[in-house]
Amino acid sequence: MKNAKILAALLGGICLFAGVANAADTANTSRNSRLDDQTQLPKAPAKPVSQQYFQPPADTDIPNNAFGELVRRGQDLFMNTKALAPEYVGNEMNCVNCHIDRGRKANSAPLWAAYPMYPAYRKKNNKVNTYVERMQGCFQFSMNGKPPAADSEILTALTTYAYWLSTGAPTGKALPGRGFDEPPPPKGGYDIARGKAVYEKQCQLCHGENGEGKKVGVTSVFPALWGKDSYNWGAGMHRINTAAGFIQHNMPLGRGETLSDQEAWDVAAYINSHERPQDPRLVNGSIDETRKRYHADDGVNLYGVVVNGKKLGQGLQ
Amino acid sequence: MRKLITPLLSGLLLLPALLPLSAQAVDGSDIMQKGGANPAAMPCITCHGTDGKGMAAAGFPRLAGLPEAYIAKQLADFKAGRRENAVMQPIAQSLTPEEVAAVAKAYAELPKVNIKPGPVERPQPGSGAWIALRGAWERNIPECTLCHGPAGVGVGDTFPPLAGQSTLYIENQLKAWRGTKAVAATRKTKAVAAVPPSRRNDPNGLMAHIAVDLSEAEIKAVADYFAGLGESKETFDESQHRLR
């Protein structure tokens, strides 16, 4: 009798424990448990005026051997992600859309400033994430797709390319030019309507009236900025502050550094006030719960926020 | 007999010019062959070729398969002086708005340049292909194909195809966008005044700064690259990606 009681208690304990484990599992398997989210990076150090940004090696430095072949393959994938890895890209984006000049350009999240910062501890998932996991995050969020396996040829080639670009860069030291070097939030805040005016004047020509981008045949040339072909609600670019940084340094193409902080924030807010594919981490099918867990303290973003009478974060197929 | 036919034929050719405009439907292909109602609007084929593919040696551009809106805009820009050209400006000024619309449509309906898809190219630094496919980002010069599309096939109504155009035409356009800088006098030579750009019709100033920052040698090399792409006889399968 006594034994039975103990057994029952024990069983109950085990069940309870299993229940907790299961809940945790479900939360994790709905996304990739090892995934590195595209959470905000600490601000990169400013570049002293007298200094140059880190210079990655030249293409002529790619060795003519098996390693060099993989570097080139990684670069091909980086520029033609949708064409060469269609099973992993759910929208029409390519790596090079956010990482200008094949991941070489400072303030366009250059690979030479990213690769040497991994593995990195992330408070958010309480894990040490690898560079490969960070790239898997890109596939899941920015490409709204399915991450290739960590040991896949695709991620190995992309890693090799990033490693090569980082030749001579210090390990574990944040370099000037890392990320998108966001402009500070404007004093009076941002204004979506004003952003629309900036968009129409500066962006629409290439990205289209409805943010749909432009294609040649089936190949995307100017990426979609919102809608089903664009990055999803889990991508770092959905943050207004992050997009403002990218835009200010890199847009309009070839004419970066021409928009003011205010214009960059306004137009980033306009772009990110449109519907896009759902955050794949969606919690219990609830926008509010997802906002609370993943968006509430992730920079400035409009996920789960009501804009023009509509709650954003509905997602698109 | 021949004596009789010649005046008859020339009479026939003149006939459209004598008719009041409203009485005739404007036919784009007619304008290509015979010119506009105003005799100053010469037949397009004189310079742009009977097939609309231009005349490479003289730098007359291909018009066949260019976007309708792009051609119409260029004609409007010639007319307004945003694009200066001694040959084209008087012609553009002589075309009626209806004729501009008709001829733009007719050229857009001719075959586009046909570039077959190829594997990923590996350009050599310092080559024309490098500027075309990689750009010169240290000078904020994006690769040409980023806006003009992979293989320079053109994107939408705004970014015309570069493939299918001649070296001379591309070179002339880049030079038209940059103008030339003033040269100071030396003991032996006179000062040369700056020539302002003769082409000022790029949307949002996207081309001007690129042309200014390219060297003469780079302009020639990149023009050669696009001219050298030629044209394929095989039809391009539109379900295939074009690689960069």
> What's the sign of the alpha-carbon dihedral A244, A245, A248, A251?
negative
Shared domain check, A163 and A102 = yes
Model pLDDT, residue A21: 39
Shared domain check, A203 and A152 = no
Shared domain check, A124 and A208 = no
Q: How many domains does chain A have?
A: 2
Shared domain check, A251 and A133 = no
Shared domain check, A163 and A185 = no
Q: Which of A87, A89, A206 should we substitute to test contact with B (largest number of B Cβ atoms within 10 Å)?
A: A206
Give me chain A's average pLDDT, please: 90
A303 in a structural domain: yes
Domain boundary among A179, A205, A224: A179
- For residue A171, is pLDDT > 60? yes
What are the two backbone dihedrals, phi and then psi, of residue A220, each rounded to the nearest 5 degrees? -70, 130
Q: Which domain holds residue A91?
A: 53-179
Whether A221 and B146 lie within 8 Å, measured CB to CB: yes
Local confidence band at A33 (pLDDT 50, 70, 90 cut-offs): low
Q: Give the single-character DSSP code of B159.
A: B
Nearest Cα neighbor of A201 from A274, A275, A242, A255 is A255
Q: Give the single-character DSSP code of A216.
A: E
A45 in a structural domain: no
Domain boundary among A179, A200, A227: A179
Shared domain check, A185 and A168 = no
- For residue B21, is pLDDT > 80? no
Model pLDDT, residue A39: 78
A310-311 vs A306-307, strand pairing mode: antiparallel
Model pLDDT, residue A22: 40
Model pLDDT for residues B120-178, shown as the tens digit of each residue: 999 999 999 999 999 999 999 999 999 999 999 999 999 999 999 999 999 999 999 99
Task: Please list every residue in chain B whose beta carbon sits closer than 8 Å to the beta carbon of residue A219.
Answer: 149-150, 241-242
Which residue among B134, B209, B244 places its CB closest to the CB of A254?
A: B209
Shared domain check, A172 and A203 = no
Domain boundary among A122, A156, A179: A179
Which domains does chain B show, CATH number per domain?
A: 25-109 (1.10.760.10), 128-227 (1.10.760.10)
Shared domain check, A264 and A150 = no
Q: What was the ipTM of the complex prediction? A: 0.87
Token pair belonging to B195: 């020539």
A36 in a structural domain: no
Is the CB of B126 inside 8 Å of chain A's CB atoms? no
Token pair belonging to A152: 């896949």
Model pLDDT for residues A256-268, shown as the tens digit of each residue: 999 999 999 999 9
Model pLDDT for residues A191-245, shown as the tens digit of each residue: 999 999 999 999 999 999 999 999 999 999 999 999 999 999 999 999 999 999 9
Average pLDDT over residues B181-193: 92
Q: How far apart are CA A185 and CA A241, in angstroms?
A: 7
CATH code of the domain in which A88 resides: 1.10.760.10
Neighbours of B24 (CB within 10 A): 13
A14 in a structural domain: no
Q: Omega of the bond prior to A119 within 30 degrees of 0, cis?
A: yes
Q: How far apart are CA B26 and CA B14, in angstroms?
A: 15
- Who has greater pLDDT, B215 or A127? B215
Token pair belonging to A185: 């939030």
Token pair belonging to A307: 């804009």
Neighbours of A157 (CB within 10 A): 22
A8 in a structural domain: no
Q: Whole-prediction pTM value?
A: 0.88
Model pLDDT for residues A97-152, shown as the tens digit of each residue: 999 999 999 999 999 999 999 999 887 678 899 999 999 999 999 999 999 999 99
Task: Please list every residue in chain B whose beta carbon sits closer than 8 Å to the beta carbon of residue A221.
Answer: 146-147, 149-150, 155
- For residue A299, is pLDDT > 60? yes
A282 in a structural domain: yes
Shared domain check, A226 and A315 = yes
Q: How far apart are CA A5 and CA A197, in angstroms?
A: 72
Distance from CA of B197 to the nearest CA of A (A): 19
Q: How far apart are CA B52 and CA B45, in angstroms?
A: 7
A76 in a structural domain: yes
Q: How far apart are CA B120 and CA B203, in angstroms?
A: 30
Shared domain check, A210 and A137 = no
A264 in a structural domain: yes
Helix and strand element counts for chain B (H, E): 11, 0
Cross-strand bridge partners of residue A293 = none
Is the CB of B116 inside 8 Å of chain A's CB atoms? no
Local confidence band at A40 (pLDDT 50, 70, 90 cut-offs): confident
Model pLDDT, residue B233: 86
